[in-house]
């Protein structure tokens, strides 16, 4: 049986780390592409040479064109510019729209049955762009943000309560960015809602740190943005799809009336399986949560309107 094939477009920090985690978990052969001459080839060869040490046989190929990507099961799009200090995700809008539009055209015609996982910021708008440009069914275009945002929230909760991260589940809804909506009452430690374990003030502080999680790392790194946790989050989605796990994860998906939103990509709980988004889970939101989700969706809509998509 041949291994599944995953194309990762963009061999920068997130792309290369995604490729690394995929082969380390022996999930698929990987094709890494980038516009920079030699970069994807060099990183692919380096990763291949880690195989004997780690004990994986996955093939890793690097390329500057798209020929080698044909017939991919999943295409992960990380190509684009990352935030620099002081830059908002939205500043990236126009430049990355151009890049992502081109990448979608090149990859989808060579892999017409693939599932697209969009990572490039501003995430929700880029997912919507990929959906429109590809003409793929909504089940096969997914944005990665919620797994990362909830991983950040889980990290802070585990630190605060001094418990294993494995005990902590957390739900984050909405757009990726400052308007994301962490849901404390659906976030638990071994099944106990964190609202039972943390004061309102501490909870608010953790929620705030989560919403600011990306910027905190940009501020520290200065020359780029986070990539270990983002790549780990992408690979969680890749695994759920390739193994047909039906795993419920917060993902950016196309809504057609769910949560009262229509014609827009926003982060919601999704059941991920081999065909992509198998189901969008609807939960009842409290009025303040619904209002926050509405604000988050409005922020996304502003960007998609700017792009006319």
146 touches 182 (CB < 8 A) = no
Q: Which stretch binds ligand TXD (CB under 6 A): 117-125, 165-173, 280-288, 290-298?
A: 117-125
146 binds ligand TXD (CB under 6 A): no
String of contacts with ligand TXD for each residue 210-249, x by CB under 6 A: --------------xxxx--x-------------------
- Between strands 5-9 and 29-33, the pairing is parallel
Q: Site residues for ligand TXD, window 77-96 (CB under 6 A)?
A: 78-83, 92, 96
Find the catalytic residue in 89, 133, 152, 176: 176
Q: Site residues for ligand TXD, window 279-308 (CB under 6 A)?
A: none
120 touches 79 (CB < 8 A) = yes
Number of residues counted as binding ligand TXD (CB under 6 A): 35
Q: Strand, helix or coil at 266?
A: strand
Positions of E strands within 36-170: 60-63, 74-77, 115-118, 141-143, 168-169
Q: Strand, helix or coil at 20?
A: helix
Among residues 81 and 163, whose Cβ is nearest to ligand TXD?
Answer: 81
Among residues 198 and 240, whose Cβ is nearest to ligand TXD?
Answer: 240
Q: Which residue, judged by CB position, is nearest to ligand TXD in the bound state?
A: 12
First-residue to last-residue Cα distance in the chain: 40
Q: Strand, helix or coil at 195?
A: helix
Q: Site residues for ligand TXD, window 30-59 (CB under 6 A)?
A: 33-36
Structure tokens at 98: 């151009």
Q: Strand, helix or coil at 39?
A: helix
- Binding footprint of ligand TXD on the chain (CB under 6 A): 9-15, 33-36, 78-83, 92, 96, 99, 102-103, 119-121, 123, 144-145, 148, 176, 224-227, 230
Query: Could you list the active site residues?
Result: 176
């Amino acid at each position: 049986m041949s291994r599944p094939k995953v194309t990762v477009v963009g061999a920068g920090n997130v792309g290369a780390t995604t490729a690394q985690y995929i082969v380390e978990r022996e999930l698929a052969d990987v094709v890494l592409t980038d516009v920079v001459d030699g970069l994807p080839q060099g990183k692919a060869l380096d990763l291949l040479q880690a195989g004997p040490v780690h004990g994986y046989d996955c093939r890793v190929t690097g390329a500057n064109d798209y020929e080698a990507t044909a017939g991919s099961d999943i295409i992960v799009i990380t190509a684009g510019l990352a935030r620099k200090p002081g830059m908002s995700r939205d500043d990236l809008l126009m430049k990355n729209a151009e890049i992502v539009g081109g990448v979608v055209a090149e990859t989808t015609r060579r892999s017409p049955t693939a599932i697209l996982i969009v990572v490039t910021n501003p995430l929700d708008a880029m997912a919507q762009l990929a959906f429109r440009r590809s003409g793929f069914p909504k089940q096969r275009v997914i944005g990665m943000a919620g797994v990362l945002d909830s991983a950040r929230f889980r990290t802070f909760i585990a630190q605060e309560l001094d418990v294993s991260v494995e005990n902590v589940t957390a739900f984050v809804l909405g757009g990726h960015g400052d308007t994301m909506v962490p849901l404390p009452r659906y976030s638990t430690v071994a099944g106990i809602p964190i609202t039972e374990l943390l004061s309102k003030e501490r909870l608010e502080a953790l929620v705030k740190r989560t919403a600011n999680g990306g910027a905190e790392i940009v501020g520290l790194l200065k020359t780029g943005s986070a990539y270990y946790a983002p790549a780990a989050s992408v690979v969680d989605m890749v695994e759920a799809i390739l193994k047909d796990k039906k795993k419920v994860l917060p993902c950016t998906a196309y809504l057609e009336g769910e949560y009262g939103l229509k014609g827009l990509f926003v982060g919601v709980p999704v059941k991920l399986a081999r065909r992509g988004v198998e189901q969008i889970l609807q939960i009842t939101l409290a009025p303040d949560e619904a209002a926050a989700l509405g604000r988050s969706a409005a922020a996304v809509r502003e960007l998609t309107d700017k792009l006319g998509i």
